[in-house]
Amino acid sequence: AYGGAGAAAIGEALRDNAVLRELYLGCSSVDDVGAAAIGRVLPSNAALTILDLGYNRIGMDDGWQACGAGVNR
């Protein structure tokens, strides 16, 4: 999946993170698989307080449907 491997690597790096407090991954092509990989390590990460995943491909349709008419309605 597009963006999954890179986000999975970020998730693994976050597992041992004790310093990074803010991570901005907006417009980074993170998809459902990548977001899940990052999400799995968040409970064990006490340092990260801000995670921005805005403007990615997480659970989205292609953006052309009217509100409530897409595949994820």
pLDDT for the residue numbered 23? 92
Percentage of residues in the chain having pLDDT higher than 90: 19
pTM for the model = 0.68
CA–CA dist 73, 61 (Å, integer) = 9
- Share the mean pLDDT of the chain: 80
Q: pLDDT tens digit string along 35-46?
A: 888 999 999 888
Judge whether 28 and 54 are in contact, CB under 8 Å: no
pLDDT tops 70 at residue 63:
no
